[in-house]
Amino acid sequence: MPLSLFAQGERPNILYIMCDDHAMQAISAYGSPISKLAPTPNIDRLAERGMKFNEAFVENSLSTPSRACLMTGLYSHQNGQRQLAEGIDSTKTFFSELLQGAGYSTAVVGKWHMSCSPKGFDYYHVLDDQGQYYNPTFASTGQYGNFKQEMGYATDLITDHAIEYLNNRDKNKPFCLLVHHKAPHRLWMPNTKYVSKYANVNFPLPETFWDDYETRGSAASTQKMSIDKYMEMVRDLKVPEMYDPSTPEGRDSYAGLMGEMNRMTPQQRAIIDAYYMPRNREFLSKNLTGKELIEWKYQNYIRDYMAVIASVDESVGRLLEYLDKNNLTDNTIIVYTSDQGFYMGEHGWFDKRFMYEESFHTPLIISYPKHIKEGSECNQMVQNIDFAPTFIDLAGLQKPKYMPGTSLQPLFAGAPVKKWRKSLYYHYYDYPTYHLVRKHDGVRTERYKLIHFYGKGGERAVVENKYQGQPGTRENNCFNALKSINYFTDDADIDYWELYDIKSDPNELHNIYGKPGTQKIEKELKKLLANYRKNLKVDE
């Protein structure tokens, strides 16, 4: 592959740090009310000495599709990973293979979460599937599938293995190290030393917390991701005292919590119990109902989530310190991001999936001394299809023509790039499954967003998916498990549109599709969406 004009003389090291479900609202560099009460000083250091991207997005707000996009530089329908389990076309070239072939030492540690073994890596040490917070199991280089338990907290262990790789790598080569944290994925289990860190903090409710979805279509109401109805007292909020063995849902929730708790050593369990048990006794004594109960759930969700983030921020600090001490900082580009955004109570929700801003929008901070001005910001739209082209560019190679994304390198200068993209395409496929978010695709411009919700409702939608109806697949096993606890609802078939003016309505409370005066922008955006579908060969 020919060299690019950039990086022919200097090929930087690459440190890519990606969390699972880390919301922008939980990084204090972005200035949200939540993060002001739970700051992230080490991640903020990256922003202080680099560039904060304010308009970074994903192409499918779900973990494995996002990871497949990262590795291939392709949209979900191009790399095969539309849903959460099966799908990745492992015959596609991973960017790690290209860097490895160009003389880079390559490694990935932490959450891999794709149905194929890591390829293009000189070293890997990856979690089993989603991974566990306490005493997790890992598989190492050349032994994918042979997972062995290690004692400790996942975020700490992943950082340990990242530093182990850095110590033992071939120091005659530039390195590309991917550090993929499990945190802060559900069940939001904090490290013992941080479990009570925010016990006495009362976080502000988001201004859209009591959203009634009045102007939107049915998908906003038929989802199962509201804190009120679907955040589980036993599994999510660690109140096993409320275990109800009489229902499949109750047994499933209890088993989910115990799956994590029973992994702990007696010492770890004692510290965890010392926090949650008194809290639970106080909670149960109050017999809360209505809005008071919902707000209690919100507060304790955010407390756990931000306590998990405390370990992530500590990990970033350890890695920055290592680079500084080993004189690697000046020639290392550091990328900090998340595999998607996340709801921190906005619209009353947790989780992700929707094309609405909180899950579509992701944090992205890049530090690259001598190439990116300290404390700079970028307000042009970027997407996770751009990561692979960026790393390929940094390695001194030309981007393969089949990759739809663009190297971020032109943005590093800090000045607006004239011929940069003015719109993005998004597509979510994972239905019917957890959270019951309906299939949809859409386009976002700098000002507007058009979303098309479509597809059969409930179990009728299974026939639209490749793997859910195939016995023996993980998608099918998951479907049957959810069906056994009566998870699915008989939702209607849908085919409708939503339109938002992001400039005047950043919280997306007012769907203006079909309103007087919107005909011109609707026509323009539908044409734009049709062009994306045609040019990208989207087949559903």
User: Model's pTM, two decimal places?
Assistant: 0.97
- Whether residue 232 is found in the same domain as residue 130: yes
Task: Quote the mean pLDDT of the chain.
Answer: 96
Over residues 22-30, mean pLDDT: 98
In a domain, 485, yes or no: yes
Whole domain around residue 452: which residue ranges? 427-536
- Of the chain, the percentage scoring pLDDT greater than 90 comes to 97
Residue 179 bridge partners (DSSP): 17, 109
Q: Residues 172-185: pLDDT tens digits?
A: 999 999 999 999 99
Q: What is the pLDDT of residues 375-429, one digit of tens each?
A: 999 999 999 999 999 999 999 999 999 999 999 999 999 999 999 999 999 999 9
Percentage, residues of the chain above pLDDT 70:
98
Asked if residue 340 belongs to a domain, the reply is yes
Same-domain pairing of 310 and 210: yes
pLDDT above 60 for 8 = no
- 421 located within any domain: no
Same structural domain for residues 288 and 366? yes
In this prediction, residue 305 has a pLDDT band, given cuts at 50, 70 and 90, of: very high
For every residue of 425-492, DSSP letters joined together read: EEEE---SSGGGPPPEEEEEESSEEEEEEEE--GGGGGGGSSSTTSTTSHHHHHHHHHHHTT----PP
Query: Is a pLDDT exceeding 60 seen at residue 481?
Result: yes
Whether the predicted pLDDT of 83 surpasses 90: yes
- pLDDT for position 540: 75
Q: Are residues 529 and 386 in the same domain?
A: no
**Does the pLDDT value for residue 2 go beyond 70?**
no
240 and 251 in contact (C-beta within 8 Å)?
Answer: no
Residue 4 has pLDDT above 70, yes or no: no
Burial of 36 (0-12, 13-18, 19+ CB in 10 A): exposed
Q: Is residue 8 part of a domain?
A: yes
- 191-212 pLDDT, tens digit per residue, is 999 999 999 999 999 999 999 9
Q: Find out whether the peptide bond into 184 is cis, omega within 30 degrees of 0.
A: yes
Give the CATH number, domain containing residue 56: 3.40.720.10
* pLDDT value, residue 9: 59
Beta bridge partners of 378: 53
CA distances from 461 to 23, 85, 430, 483 (A): 30, 17, 10, 13
Say how many domains are in the chain: 2
Q: Has residue 312 got a pLDDT over 50?
A: yes
Per-residue pLDDT of 263-283, as tens digits, reads 999 999 999 999 999 999 999
In angstroms, the CA 212 to CA 216 distance is 9
Whether 264 and 174 share a structural domain: yes
416 within some domain: no
Strand boundaries in 254-360, DSSP class E: 332-338
What does the pLDDT average to over 479-508? 96
- Give the mean pLDDT of 1-20: 74
3-state secondary structure of 216: coil
Pairing relation of β-strands 361-367 and 332-338?
antiparallel
The number of beta carbons lying within 10 Å of the beta carbon of residue 33 is: 13
* Residues 333 and 247 grouped into a single domain: yes
> What pLDDT is stored for residue 10 in this prediction?
80
**Do 379 and 453 have their domain in common?**
no
Q: What is the mean pLDDT of residues 506-524?
A: 98
Is 28 part of any domain? yes
158 and 128 co-located in one domain = yes
Residue 210 lies in a domain: yes
Distant-in-sequence contacts of 254-263, Cβ < 8 A, 24+ apart: 256/187, 256/232, 257/187, 259/132, 260/132, 260/133, 260/134, 260/187, 260/189, 263/132, 263/134, 263/135, 263/136
Cis-peptide, bond into residue 237, ω within 30° of zero: no
Q: What would the pLDDT profile of 55-76 be if each residue is shown by its tens digit?
A: 999 999 999 999 999 999 999 9
In a domain, 418, yes or no: no
Please tell me whether residues 503 and 369 are part of one structural domain.
no
Residue 494 has pLDDT above 80, yes or no: yes
| Of the residues 372, 387, 411, the one at which a domain ends | 411
Residues 383 and 235 in one domain: yes
CB 353 within 8 A of CB 62: yes
Q: State which of 381, 411, 441 marks the end of a domain.
A: 411
Q: Using the 8-state DSSP alphabet, how is residue 24 labeled?
A: G
User: Do 451 and 373 belong to one domain?
Assistant: no
Q: Are 149 and 136 a contacting pair, CB within 8 Å?
A: yes
The per-residue pLDDT for 424 is 98
Q: Would you call 119 helix, strand, or coil by DSSP?
A: coil
Q: Are residues 402 and 436 in the same domain?
A: no
Residue pLDDT, tens place only, 398-411: 999 999 999 999 99
Identify the band that residue 539 occupies on the pLDDT scale cut at 50, 70 and 90: confident
Q: What is the predicted pLDDT for the residue at 100?
A: 98
**Overall average pLDDT of the 111-123 stretch:** 97
